[in-house]
Structure 1
């Protein structure tokens, strides 16, 4: 969910970067910045969809790094990068804890089922 929310803000970043380039008289860079920002937003969506695959987390980290790099073009992106990187880290840590909890419960349920039928069964 973090990457999907980040994609929305990255698409706004693309529009702001294009607008700033036009305002600075760099019309040649405007379209490049727009498409680069939209490409980053698309990468964020793809990474969010691939989180169940081993390379999904790697793509997620790439999105975080590129979001930080986008602050070179629009300095306000530092705030966006800070918030989304913090949420990204929090969710990765909590996801690992949830995975451990599920694995522990699965191990406990298979150990209980291996014991055989209950003693009071007819």
Structure 2
């Protein structure tokens, strides 16, 4: 799960940066505000890559997805991009857990076969 989720978060890092470039063109927003908000969100996406295996890491990832969709109120295209990345996040968590379970079953099966082979000799 960690690899799939981290890949999604790295993609989000770049999307947030590009959204910041688009938001800079809004005359109502100061450049400092845009880059403070985008910088914090980009940093959060990078830090979450390392926190995925810790308690609450996936939930913080969901919070980032909600913030990404909500950023559509500033950059309207982010409604679509946020929804796409929220779907990717769901798929990463859902299928990543299935892959982790399959790996655990395979490791247990391999370990069981090794023990059975060692007992026969």
Tell me if TM exceeds 0.5: yes
Q: Say whether 1:52 aligns with 2:40.
A: no
Aligned partners of 1:45 and 1:75: how far apart in 2? Answer: 24
Aligned residues: 115
Shift of 1:19: 1.7
Q: Cα RMSD between the aligned structures?
A: 1.8
Which of the residues 8, 11, 18 maps onto 2:17? Answer: 11
2:15 & 2:111 partners in 1: Cα distance?
A: 44
- Unpaired runs of at least 5, structure 1: none
State the distance in 2 between where 1:96 and 1:11 align: 29
Other-structure match for 1:76: 77
RCO higher in structure (CA 8 A, sep ≥6) = 2
Please state how far the C-alpha of 1:118 moved relative to its aligned partner: 6.2
Give the aligned partner of residue 43 of structure 1: 44
Name the TM-score, length of structure 2 as normaliser: 0.82
1:114 match: secondary structure: helix
Q: CA deviation at 1:116?
A: 5.1
Correspondences of 1:82-93 after superposition (within 5 Å)? 82-93=83-94
Q: 1:47 to 1:117 in 2, by over 3 A?
A: closer
Specify the alignment match of 1:103 in structure 2: 104
TM-score (norm 1): 0.82
Task: Tell me the secondary structure at the aligned position of residue 21 of structure 2.
Answer: helix
CA shift for structure 1 position 15: 2.1
